[in-house]
């Protein structure tokens, strides 16, 4: 496994093909075989001459050295080489050579780009963007070839000269439109409708009127649409996601930052959420920080994106079939979090009211102290969960997202470590009956475990992953998984604590079951079973065992039923803590009753 094999191409081609051994089979890794010799194309057309330069067939291009160096080109048009390029097969080796050719043309011949010049350029690019050969890109040796092509086209088309206030160049798999814009323009928009496989796919770019008011002088806006390039770019995005619309590029003046883009979905999936993204040209990856989703329907998505010349000029939508979208799931999450927050606030209020009545012994003090910290940690985590969603959807601020993720990570870890502390306390009460722990020792140990361990893990996680831009995941203010596996800093401690707390529940079941052994009465057996069931029901939310159901969403991430069950169990965890940790506790109920009676007497005396 992993062994490489390189074979030469057939006699009519130059280059080589690379294979890698996977599961005892040779799999093609890259194919650099090519039969397109661009150097000979230029040499063939060196003496070709047409009288007028306006016809743009004036082809006296001089190429020195071999094509790969492409050191010097003189002249303003290259339409003379188009017939031979279009006649060549769009195999991986030829694709790589054409991408390199377009890159050099963009760098050396991008001055005074006329419509005819852009038309020649577009015909060459269209040849390697045809939907019938797009799968050949997978074997191009340079994995950044798609990004190179995108940057080259954006650079070249962005220099388009406009005649009569507008220009349009349309090919089946690449289209460019340009308009002259100024402050008094009521609104500028670009509409694209292009063939994709057996049907049509549309895209729309609009510049809001409030953005146009920022223009100090008349300028131009240019947009380019690629219906197939997304299939090439998606391989650079980690995870089971795919580009599900056009790639739309825009070239705008520096003053204009905000654009409105509408993407028609290629694959229309009802239960899958779309994500608006921008292509980060420096890091060569899709970045969700560039856009936010304004609306998402079954057939189309509207995105509001931030245009920046040096980073974000191209945009699209990503979809993941492994992540189901459901209105029921969203409703459960919102209602559950709201009810959880209210329940936790009520729980803390009740604990404050009855605190002196229920903490008279050391063991009850320790239990209620753990319960209060569990409630506080979950309450803060739930609030931060909502704030993190707001920060990601509206502010698009990276530093705020990092801060929200750090505190969200810390408080969710604190929740688990306080549940772990409560589990240890239960074992202490059951197994170490004659071993006494003082309150000061317990407080020191509890704070070290409950808040100390999460703080260390959270700090180490952000310190290790953030310098490499691997702390945040794409599309949410939460820990990264695909690039740096930062999410393991939450998953591993949480699952470990769940396993330990499951052992605690087993010990409780065994201990409570032994008390009825030998009694031989069916009523006693039934009473024992009820007592065991009650203990399990009480301990399951308090010890976080409901989070263990999250493993099912990992094993079958497409199952909506598993996601709904997991959301039900965890979004309502605050309510379960209020119910099982406070309201169903006998001493707490008695203390509440006594406090109510005392209040009534006091109110009656005052009256």
Q: 81: helix, coil or strand?
A: helix
Strand intervals (E) in 172-271: 174-181, 188-196, 199-207, 219-226, 242-243, 247-251, 258-264
Give the up-direction half-sphere exposure of residue 118: CA atoms within 13 A in the CB hemisphere: 27
- In CATH terms, are 92-319 and 327-513+523-600 the same topology? no
Predicted TM-score (pTM) above 0.85: no
What does the pLDDT look like over 311-361, one tens digit per residue?
889 999 988 765 666 667 778 888 888 999 999 999 999 999 999 888 888
Give the up-direction half-sphere exposure of residue 36: CA atoms within 13 A in the CB hemisphere: 24
Q: How confident is the model at residue 69 (pLDDT cuts 50, 70, 90)?
A: very low
Closest CA to 309 of 494, 158, 498, 147: 158
CA dist 524 to 61, 300, 430, 519, 586, Å?
A: 100, 63, 21, 7, 21
Q: Which residue has the higher pLDDT, 150 or 191?
A: 150
Closest CA to 228 of 125, 121, 130, 102: 130
92-319 in CATH: which number?
A: 2.60.220.50
Cα(592)–Cα(168) distance, rounded to whole angstroms? 76
- Range from 98-102, 319-323, 425-429, 598-602 carrying the lowest mean pLDDT: 319-323
Closest CA to 569 of 545, 552, 546: 546
Whether the predicted pLDDT of 143 surpasses 90: no
CATH 1.20.1260.10 is right for the domain spanning 327-513+523-600: no
Q: How many CB atoms lie within 10 A of CB 195?
A: 12
What are the beta bridge partners of residue 293? 303
Domains of the chain: which residue ranges? Answer: 92-319, 327-513+523-600
Give the up-direction half-sphere exposure of residue 387: CA atoms within 13 A in the CB hemisphere: 15
Query: What is the 3-state secondary structure of 206-219?
Result: EECHHHHCCCCCCE
Contact in structure between 452 and 417 (CB atoms under 8 Å): no
Percent with pLDDT over 90 in the chain: 30
Contacts of 371 (CB under 8 A, 6+ apart): 347, 351, 422, 542, 577, 581, 582
Residue 292 confidence (pLDDT): 84
Contact in structure between 291 and 277 (CB atoms under 8 Å): yes
Buried b (16+ CB within 10 A) or exposed e, 504-517: bbeebbeebeeebe
Q: Strand order in 258-264's β-sheet? A: 188-196, 199-207, 258-264, 300-306, 291-296
Supply the mean pLDDT for the chain: 81
Q: How confident is the model at residue 43 (pLDDT cuts 50, 70, 90)?
A: low
Contact in structure between 237 and 280 (CB atoms under 8 Å): no
Question: Can you tell me the mean pLDDT for 560-565?
Answer: 78
């Amino acid at each position: 496994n992993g062994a490489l094999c390189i074979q030469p191409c057939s006699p009519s081609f130059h280059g080589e093909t690379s294979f890698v051994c996977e599961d005892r089979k040779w799999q093609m890794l890259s194919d650099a075989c090519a039969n397109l010799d661009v150097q000979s194309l230029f040499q063939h057309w060196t003496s070709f001459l047409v009288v007028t330069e306006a016809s743009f067939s004036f082809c006296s291009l001089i190429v020195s050295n071999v094509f790969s160096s492409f050191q010097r080109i003189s002249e303003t048009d290259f339409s003379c080489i188009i017939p031979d390029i279009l006649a060549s097969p769009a195999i991986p080796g030829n694709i790589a050579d054409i991408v390199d050719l377009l890159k050099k043309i963009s760098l050396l011949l991008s001055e005074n780009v006329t419509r005819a010049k852009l038309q020649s350029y577009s015909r060459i690019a269209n040849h390697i963007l045809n939907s019938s050969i797009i799968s050949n890109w997978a074997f191009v040796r340079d994995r950044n070839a798609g990004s190179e092509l995108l940057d080259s086209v954006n650079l070249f088309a962005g220099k388009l000269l406009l005649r009569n206030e507008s220009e349009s160049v349309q090919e089946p798999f690449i289209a460019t439109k340009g308009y002259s814009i100024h402050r008094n323009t009521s609104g500028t928009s670009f509409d694209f409708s292009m063939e994709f496989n057996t049907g049509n796919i549309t895209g729309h770019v609009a510049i809001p009127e409030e953005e146009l008011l920022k223009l100090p002088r008349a300028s131009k806006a240019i947009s380019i649409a690629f219906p197939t390039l997304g299939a090439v770019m998606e391989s650079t995005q980690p995870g089971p996601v795919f580009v599900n619309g056009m790639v739309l590029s825009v070239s705008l003046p520096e003053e204009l930052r905000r654009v409105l883009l509408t993407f028609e979905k290629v694959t229309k999936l009802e239960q899958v959420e779309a994500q608006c993204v921008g292509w980060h040209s420096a890091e060569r990856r899709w970045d969700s920080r560039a856009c936010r989703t304004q609306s998402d329907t079954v057939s189309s998505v509207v995105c509001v994106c931030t245009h920046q010349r040096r980073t974000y000029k191209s945009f699209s939508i990503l979809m993941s079939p492994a992540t189901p979208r459901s209105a029921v799931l969203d409703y459960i999450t919102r209602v559950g979090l709201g009810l959880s927050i209210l329940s936790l606030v009520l729980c803390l209020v009740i604990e404050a009211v009855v605190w002196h009545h229920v903490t008279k012994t050391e063991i009850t003090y320790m239990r209620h102290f753990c319960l209060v910290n569990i409630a506080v940690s979950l309450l803060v985590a739930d609030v931060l969960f909502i704030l993190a969603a707001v920060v990601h959807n509206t502010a698009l601020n990276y530093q705020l997202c990092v801060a929200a993720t750090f505190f969200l990570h810390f408080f969710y870890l604190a929740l688990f470590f306080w549940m772990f502390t409560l589990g240890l306390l239960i074992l202490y009460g059951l197994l170490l009956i004659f071993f006494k722990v003082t309150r000061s020792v317990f407080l020191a140990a509890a704070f070290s475990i409950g808040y100390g361990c999460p703080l260390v893990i959270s700090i180490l996680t952000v310190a290790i992953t953030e310098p490499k831009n691997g702390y945040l995941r794409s599309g949410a203010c939460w820990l990264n998984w695909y690039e740096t596996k930062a999410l393991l800093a939450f998953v591993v401690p949480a699952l470990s604590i769940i396993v330990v707390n499951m052992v605690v529940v087993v010990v409780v079941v065994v201990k409570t079951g032994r008390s009825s052994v030998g009694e031989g009465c069916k009523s006693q057996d039934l009473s024992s079973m009820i007592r065991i069931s009650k203990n399990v029901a009480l301990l399951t939310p308090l010890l976080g065992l409901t989070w263990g159901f999250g493993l099912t969403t990992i094993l079958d991430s497409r199952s909506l039923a598993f996601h709904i069950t997991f959301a039900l169990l965890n979004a309502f965890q605050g309510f379960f803590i209020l119910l099982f940790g406070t309201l169903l506790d006998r001493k707490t109920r008695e203390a509440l009753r006594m406090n109510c009676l005392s209040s009534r007497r006091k109110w009656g005396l005052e009256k």
